[in-house]
Structure 1
Amino acid sequence: MIVAVVRDEYAGPLTDALTRKGLGATKLSSTGGFLKAGNTTFLIGVRDDQLEEALDAIRGACPGAQVGQGSLKGGKTAPQSSATVFILGVERMLKV
């Protein structure tokens, strides 16, 4: 599962990039806490073999995207970027 928090101006290009690759996503409106700016949060369910393809779409549509994996430590903050991406392991995903 990919959770991508994207600046609003990149939401359209990312939607287009994911659609071209045949990857579906759920989009949620969100607001950043620090800058209080509008964002779009994408929930993208992918198989392991689709992960890099989805990340390529994010990197291509959102210049400077920050991709993180694992836990955040030491209170570090990322510089402002077009997207912040979290990769989460999911034991099971169902489409019903």
Structure 2
Amino acid sequence: MKMIIAIVQNQDQRVLVETLMENEFHVTKLATTGGFLKVGNTTLLIGVEEERVERVIEIIREVCEPREQIIPNTTNTTLGTEALYSTYPIKVTVGGATIFVVDVERFEKI
């Protein structure tokens, strides 16, 4: 048995969970916060048999495509004794997923 831990953007999670459940995968959803953009994301815990791992990853890949987003730039720097602030928005790539696949030593459903 394997545990897939998938961290996805909040806007992708609804479709992803529905698609996984339609394909008979059981999913536990956790609300989490990312460190890079400091925005909410979703962590999914998916327990599967080893031979079904690749199918789960395929589904995640299909649903969670990376895309570009414009975000406010809140960067500031110091030059001598003066603080400089940049107000130009920046383009970042969001979406996609971070996936961990780990061995499950023991599984019990009570």
| TM-score when normalising by structure 1 | 0.78
Alignment partner of 1:83 is 2:85: no
How much has 1:81 moved relative to structure 2? Answer: 3.9
1:4 to 6, 17, 24: 6
Letter in 2 for 1:88: V
Equivalent residue, structure 2, for 1:45: 47
Deviation at 1:80, TM superposition (A): 4.5
For 1:21 and 1:37, locate their aligned partners in 2 and report how far apart those are by CA, in whole Å.
29
- Give distance in 2, aligned partners of 1:3 and 1:38: 16
| Partner deviation per Cα, 1:36-79 (whole Å, 9 max, x = no partner) | 01101000001101101111111111114xxxxxxxxxxxxxx7
**C-alpha displacement of 1:21:** 0.6
Q: Give the C-alpha shift of residue 82 in structure 1.
A: 2.3
Question: What does residue 79 of structure 2 align with?
Answer: none
Extract structure 1 runs of 4+ deviating beyond 4 A: none
The structure 2 residue matched to 1:27, chosen from 23, 26, 29, is: 29
1:21-44 deviations in whole A, cap 9, x for unaligned? 100110000000121011010000
Partner of residue 92, structure 1? 106
Partners of 2:101 and 2:55 lie apart in 1 by 13
Alignment identity in percent?
41
Aligned to 2:62: 60
The structure having more radius of gyration, on CA atoms, is: 2
Q: Which runs of 5+ in 2 are unaligned?
A: 67-92
CA-atom RMSD, angstroms? 1.3
In 2, Cα distance between equivalents of 1:31 and 1:38: 4
Kept after mapping to 1: 8 A contact 2:61/2:96: no
Q: TM-score when scaled to structure 2?
A: 0.69
